[in-house]
Amino acid sequence: MMEFPTVPHLTRVCTLLLLILLMKSDIAVYSNSDYLIGLGSYDITGPAADVNMMGYANTEQVASGVHLRLRSRAFIVAEPHGNRVVFVNLDACMASQLVTIKVLERLKARYGDLYTENNVAISGIHTHAGPGGYLQYVIYIVTSLGFVRQSFDALVDGIEKSIVKAHENLRPGSIFVNKGELLDAGVNRSPSGYLNNPAAERSKYKYNVDKEMSLLKFVDAEWGPVGSFNWFATHGTSMSRTNSLISGDNKGAAARFMEDWFERKGSVKTDSVGFQDDSIPRRISNIIPSLGKNHHKLLEIASSFQSPSGSPATRTSSVARRVRGAISQVDKPRFVSAFCQSNCGDVSPNVLGAFCTDTGLPCDFNHSTCGGKNELCYGRGPGYPDEFESTRIIGERQFRKAVDLFNEASEQIKGKVEFRHTYIDFSKLDVTLSKEGASEVVKTCPAAMGFSFAAGTTDGPGAFDFKQGDAKGNPFWNLVRDLLKTPNKEQIDCQSPKPILLDTGEMKLPYDWAPSILPIQILRIGQFVILSVPGEFTTMAGRRLRDAVMAVLSGKKDFGSNVHVVLAGLTNTYSQYVTTYEEYQVQRYEGASTLYGPHTLSAYIQEFKKLAKALISDQLVEPGPQPPDLLNQQISLLTPVVVDGTPIGVNFGDVIANVPKNATFKKGDKVTVTFWSACPRNDLMTEGTFALVEFLRGKDTWVPAYDDDDFSLRFIWSRPSKLSLRSKATLEWRIPLDATPGVYRLKHFGAAKSLLGSIRHFTGSSSAFVVT
């Protein structure tokens, strides 16, 4: 008797046919390509031990493991026979002038004049959970004990490789833009400063932070969507100043979520047992249905895999086993998603507000203090008191908004690819101010940091008796300051009302403490314009700069009236904060960290308007004075790894604390295993992993399921004391709610240094266990 298809079967068939039609439709739409587009990504995680983290300037915040790997993500857009631009987004605190210089040198050696300082932008997401020591100016590497070559090399290598990948992936494609509001991922952490801006100006805006996310969707003419980059302002401070695990914070998490979402969304093929050909068990509902419901059978299988002794491994072992290495596609570009930073200067992801840790009451509004002390005032994220949960929530909110914008992007980018770039000496720039028909010439100042800088922020308070909103200073700290450098009257007057704590722009020993020469840059892709700024602009400062450039460009040349202008913060180098003139008068943290005096923002607006006018008039701009290359002057006090050791009779990779015998865990449970290990600085495991969760497929095949680039798995490294030769690696896996039931084990990769200096790679595994 003939069997008729069931309703569910017909539904699946119809869905498949619809997908095929949509794919064909996409190809038809996307084949109208105006550009060559290419995207690339590479690991920049760096040293996961012993190195001070960049951002909070907390000497006790030293890396000791990995929460999420850090990546460099790049896109290239080129006219088929004309200009091209490169934008690189780093899971790092900020860009570095020295890193930028060395990347450009490598690109010149490889490609000649194809990629230069003029058309390459390198931007940081502002995570405060990455290794420091990669900037060249003294003030930014004091807490990292000077220059850290491993941090620097990891960035330079990774940025270069991400650009090379993007270059090699260049193919005909199209770009779409979309914008939308994200309301719950940032609050103003200096509202008293914002309120000092003119009421008439504030009335033009609904919120005291920018809530708009702008997204570019990159579509390959043959393959369809291959990536997206978005810009949204919120600090990378969901992870606190006491966190010691390397992490991309909320933006790094959002990027990981979106790249995994797209790969999962695009996986439709399965093998004969329903196993998707991307080989990631967590992405399927059931791998071995006949065993998934048989708990006793699973326990029997797991018991046959007891923890072996640690064993030698090769350098490439962890690279070969990493999850996303296992799913790489040879012929199709990998999807790359970047969550870029914007004018985040006064924007905190700790959206519940700032509270006193002793009383639980809100902090003082004007000074962010508790009983006169700033140390007790902390912002609370949405997952309070769990900083990892806050990171996940803020990351997920950005991810979900980006997915909405990505799916609905319909405005196609059309027009020229252009760029303008120049260097400006911000320590002595004449700035013309116009007001009520009259003009006045003022000057910027050599860099200096105010007293409120040392107070920190509600995201990471400072110490001693400093507080935000201090426009007077303190005689005792003036004496301490004068031991380093006493500012002269001209500098004091120029920086007023900032009381100078560190006169960094005039401190030159052992080399420059702060930058004077800064790059500014405009990248244009059709009607989409990126303003590359080397600092953290506050909300209103960013609005003023965008509006000033928009006024120059809108309706001019071939721009039309629909111009999209975004601010890319912390780009090409770093020079701390930029506030409005009015916010500067309040001297909260952001104003005290505005290096070049009260007219810094006006200087930026003046010079960016010059670049914009040059762009619309097809005029070239002078390159300006070159910034210094201080690589050969760098000092490093970080001690090298001498030797690693274990107790007698113990191998590297041996398990110290295993899972319980015949262990069964439920989704949401935490699995913890500890191994004898060695210093992670011996091998950074670039494009590899220190930690791995493996899933048993069939009877004896272990496949990678999660690694240290997954939010659910943490690699935590420790040693009993700084001088100890012995160390441990603890792997913590919080079993995701969508994990596939079955048999799992945890695996650790490491590298040990011998007394003679040779590096020996090793691996170790836990006993197997069951997840139901």
Q: Cα–chain-centroid distance for residue 577?
A: 18
SS3 letters across 367-406: CCCECCEHHHEEEECCCCCCHHHHHHHHHHHHHHHHHHHH
> What CA dihedral angle connects 55, 59, 61 and 65, to 10 degrees?
100
Given a contact cutoff of 8 angstroms between Cβ atoms, the answer to whether 194 and 200 are in contact is no
- Active-site positions read 348
Q: Which amino acid is at 720?
A: P
- What single-letter amino acid sits at 161? K
Helices (H), 112-190: 149-168
Q: If DSSP states are collapsed to H, E and C, what string results for 704-733?
A: EEEECCCCCEEEEEECCCCCCCCEEEEEEE
Task: Check if the beta carbon of residue 627 is closer than 8 Å to that of residue 483.
Answer: no
Say if residues 37 and 173 touch (Cβ distance below 8 Å): yes
Locus of tokens 């996940």 = 392
Beta carbons within 10 angstroms of residue 271's beta carbon: 9
Q: Give the pair of three-digit tokens for residue 323.
A: 């999850």
Rounded to an integer, what distance in angstroms lies between the CA atom of residue 287 and that of residue 193?
Answer: 56
Q: Give the up-direction half-sphere exposure of residue 643: CA atoms within 13 A in the CB hemisphere.
A: 6
Q: Using CA atoms, how far apart are residues 251 and 425, in angstroms rounded to an integer? A: 32
Selection from 702, 762, 663, 768 nearest residue 307 by Cα: 768
Eight-class DSSP state of 41: E
- DSSP, collapsed to helix, strand or coil, labels residue 607 as helix
Amino acid 139 reads: I
Pair of tokens at residue 105: 């040198």
In SS3 terms, 308-363 reads as: CCCEECCCCHHHHHCHHHHCCCCCCCCCEEEEECCCCCCEECCCCEEEECCCCCEC
Instruction: Measure the CA–CA gap between 691 and 693, rounded to whole angstroms.
Output: 7
Q: Residue 506 and residue 138: Cα distance in Å, rounded? A: 12
Spatial neighbors of 430 by CB under 8 A, at least 6 apart, are 441, 442, 443
Terminal Cα distance for the chain, rounded: 41
Q: Residue 371 is encoded by which pair of tokens?
A: 């009983």
What strands, in cross-sheet order, belong to the sheet with 130-131?
130-131, 49-54, 62-66, 713-718, 727-734, 670-677, 655-657
Please give the Cα distance from 732 to 247 (Å, whole number).
15
Torsion of CA 53, 57, 58, 62, to 10 degrees: 10
Complete DSSP assignment for 434-448: EETTEEEEEE--S--
* Distance (Å) of CA 491 to CA 350, 484, 496, 498, 741: 36, 15, 8, 10, 67
